[in-house]
Amino acid sequence: MSEQSTAEPGRDDETAENARQDVIAVDADDTREGTVNRLDAHTGEGVRHRAFTCMLFDEEGRVLLAQRAARKRLWDTHWDGTVASHPVAGQTQVEATEERLEEELGLTPDQYEGLTVTDRFEYKRHYLDEGVEWEVCSVLTATVTDLDFDPDPEEVGGTLWVDYEDLYENGRYYRQLRLCPWFEIAMRRDLDPSVEKADR
């Protein structure tokens, strides 16, 4: 009888998972151009693809940050907005966000309200020698009404409620968090009055 491994999931596990998944390749206007293997989309110079980042707020204006698990190949242990991922073919951004909120944090749609796409932007960033993100990223926001959630440790290394405007205005006080680039871009576009948001 074979023994089952009790080792913590590692980067090799996530790489294998990614190699079995596809993301939606898009042009600069977020128009679909087919699908591409998720690992291929994040390797070398990458392939531009559709993504989302979501920020959940409480009634006091705090945003829920989630730390990416150490097993993540890209931006491991960095702090993100509440959740970020990629829709699959046939999914809307709202549907994909609802799915990932439940999978990563155990948050169901009855625990938040007003989930809406508020912005969209394109960015490209390399991470060490591990890979690249080249995404047309939609931003979604919602207000949490039930603060009871249960993060999946394979996806989330920790959670933290932070005053959103203070995080933006006094970033030097939060240097130890090491924020994910897509979240920093989304926050700047949201709170910098000189930035014109893209059509959603």
Confidence (pTM): 0.87
Quick one: pLDDT at residue 4?
A: 37
3-class DSSP state of 33: strand
Query: In this model, does residue 7 exceed pLDDT 60?
Result: no
Query: In this model, does residue 17 exceed pLDDT 70?
Result: no
Query: In this model, does residue 84 exceed pLDDT 90?
Result: yes
Structure tokens at 25: 């390749």
Quick one: pLDDT at residue 2?
A: 31
> Per the annotation, where are the binding residues for Mn(2+)?
42, 49, 86, 133, 135
Sorting pLDDT into bands at 50, 70 and 90, what band is 6?
very low
Quick one: pLDDT at residue 130?
A: 83
Domain boundaries, the chain: 11-191
Specify which of 70-79, 100-109, 127-136 reaches the highest per-range mean pLDDT. 100-109
> Per the annotation, where are the binding residues for Mg(2+)?
104
Sorting pLDDT into bands at 50, 70 and 90, what band is 198?
confident
Sorting pLDDT into bands at 50, 70 and 90, what band is 15?
low
Cβ atoms of 98 and 64 closer than 8 Å = no
Structure tokens at 97: 């966000």
Cβ atoms of 26 and 48 closer than 8 Å = yes
Averaged over 183-187, what is the pLDDT? 97
The CATH architecture annotation of domain 11-191 reads: Alpha-Beta Complex (3.90)
Averaged over 106-130, what is the pLDDT? 95
3-class DSSP state of 52: strand
For tokens 């690992």, the residue is 39
Structure tokens at 162: 């932070």
Quick one: pLDDT at residue 129?
A: 82
Query: In this model, does residue 177 exceed pLDDT 70?
Result: yes
pLDDT in tens, 24-58: 999 999 999 999 999 999 999 999 999 999 999 99
Quick one: pLDDT at residue 127?
A: 93
In 31-175, which ranges are continuous DSSP H helix?
A: 38-41, 93-105, 164-169
> Per the annotation, where are the binding residues?
42, 49, 86, 104, 133, 135
Quick one: pLDDT at residue 61?
A: 93
Q: What are the residue numbers of the active site?
A: 135
Quick one: pLDDT at residue 13?
A: 57
3-class DSSP state of 49: strand
